[in-house]
Amino acid sequence: MTQPKLPPAPSDLAMVPFVSVENMMKIVNHIGPARMMAEIAEYIESDFKRWEEFDKTPRVAAHSTEGVIELMPTSDGETYGFKYVNGHPANMARGFQTVTAFGVLARVDNGYPILLSEMTILTALRTAATSAVAAKYLAPKGAKTMAMIGNGAQCEFQALAFREVLGIEGVRLYDLDPAATDKAAHNLQGSGLNIVKCTSPEDAVTSAEIITTCTADKQYATILTDNMVGAGQHINAIGGDCPGKTELHRDVLLRSDIFVEFPPQTRIEGEIQQLDPDHPVTELWRVIAGQQDGRTSDRQITLFDSVGFATEDFSALRYVYDQLQKTGHYIDLDMLADPDDPRDLFGMVRRANPKP
């Protein structure tokens, strides 16, 4: 697993590889969704181990009453990456996706982009891959059952990633909308997972070693109450991802050992926005790098308070870049002006005029 092999010279960079939604779906189906998420997880884990090489900043967010639009940038000194992403909970009722995204990788040495990609599908893949990486270090060993509360667009990705990376055998599904649960159960047919459709959150968490919460409403919500969480469980909280949006009762947080991606961002957007600013949390990268402990006992309640961070998108884009020549599922975009003389941009425009 290597960093992107960059094109050798600026003169070769006028054309930029573009992965459309159509081609992203071809890549996913060429590799297989579960395998692709497991491989993205390896890239994420590798990049977390070199966390200190990255520029890190909370995402740049433009909030409105309807939702949020965000930019998520980072760089490892050689390659720069960013993602544009929105989150609009009311979109589903209007026939739009709640989340859409695209991303870019670029060379640091000359600023030229080397990849433009859709990231609506890729974000779903990398979110599930990140959850699986965290659970690898935090979930009870030998966990076989996961509860999935919130059966929207992320549900099937999470289930397949946990099966592929952790060996989960069963998923207990619950959503306020039974049609969402039916959709997820239908899509997971033939996955090898034992699927149970539940009638309440309490029913869903019964006998589950891992609890994943993934709801879309932009509000302070209580998806998990304190009495629903037992000793030894791992909570994968991925639905709270902006100010004013949470899923867990505060008392659940106070009983848990909390692991986060980037504290300055998570304290604003994650479940821990409910806690005092100095409440102790552990950065996940430190666990992956062996600097701090993850799960230390069978009765410990671990909580991954995930809001998504730019390095994860960087890892996912890096993975896609490495698949381009292997799969051929991309097109070249003529998006960079490339005059023969870099000083003569106007001349290039003038020569393109078909009129004499």
Q: What is the mean pLDDT of residues 263-288?
A: 95
CB atoms < 10 A from the CB of 309, how many? 25
Q: What tokens does 118 get? A: 């859709």
Burial readout 127-158 (b: 16 or more C-beta within 10 A, e: otherwise): bbbbbbbbbbbbbbeebebbbbbbbbbbbbbb
Q: Which of 154, 149, 280 is nearest to 221 (CA)?
A: 149
pLDDT in tens, 115-147: 999 999 999 999 999 999 999 999 999 999 999
Which residues have a catalytic role annotated? 241
103-120 residues labelled b (16+ CB within 10 A) or e (exposed): bbbbbeeeebbbbbbbbb
Reported as a pLDDT band with limits 50, 70 and 90, residue 299 is very high
Contact 74, 308 (CB under 8 A): no
Q: What is the mean pLDDT of residues 244-273?
A: 93
Buried residues in 209-240 as b, exposed as e (16+ CB within 10 A) = bbbbbbbbebeebebbeeebbeebbbbbbbbb
| Residues 234, 301: Cα–Cα separation, whole Å | 6
Q: 282 falls in which pLDDT band (50, 70, 90)?
A: very high
Strands 15-19 and 113-118, by their bridges, are parallel
CA 42 vs CA 83, 96, 130, 150, 155: distances in Å: 20, 32, 9, 26, 21
DSSP 8-state secondary structure symbol assigned to residue 242: B
Structure tokens at 226: 């304190």
- Rounded to two decimals, what is the model's pTM? 0.93
Strands (E), the chain: 15-19, 60-63, 68-75, 79-87, 101-107, 113-118, 145-149, 170-174, 194-197, 210-213, 220-224, 234-237, 246-248, 257-260, 282-283, 302-305, 331-334
CA-nearest of 107, 38, 61, 33 to 243 is 61
pLDDT confidence band for 106 (50 / 70 / 90):
very high
The mean per-residue pLDDT over the stretch 211-224 comes to 78
State the average pLDDT over residues 244-252.
88
List the Cα angle 83/97/20 in 5-degree steps: 55
Confidence label for 297 from pLDDT (cuts 50, 70 and 90): very high
Task: Compute the average pLDDT of residues 292-304.
Answer: 97
Where does the pLDDT of residue 9 fall: very low under 50, low under 70, confident under 90, or very high at 90 and above? Answer: very low
Averaged pLDDT score across all residues of the chain: 92
CA distance 333 to 25: 19
Confidence at 8, pLDDT banded by 50, 70, 90: very low
**Domains of the chain and any CATH numbers:** 16-121+311-335 (3.30.1780.10), 137-308 (3.40.50.720)
Q: How far apart are CA 334 and CA 345, in angstroms?
A: 15
Residues of the chain with pLDDT > 70: what percent?
Answer: 94
Give the per-residue pLDDT at 13: 61
**Of 188-197, 245-254, 258-267, where does mean pLDDT reach its minimum?**
245-254
pLDDT at site 10: 38
Banded pLDDT at 240 (limits 50, 70, 90): low
- Evaluated on CA atoms 47, 48, 51, 55, the torsion sign reads positive
- Alpha helices for 154-249 (secondary structure H): 155-166, 178-187, 201-205
Band of pLDDT at residue 217, cut at 50, 70 and 90: low
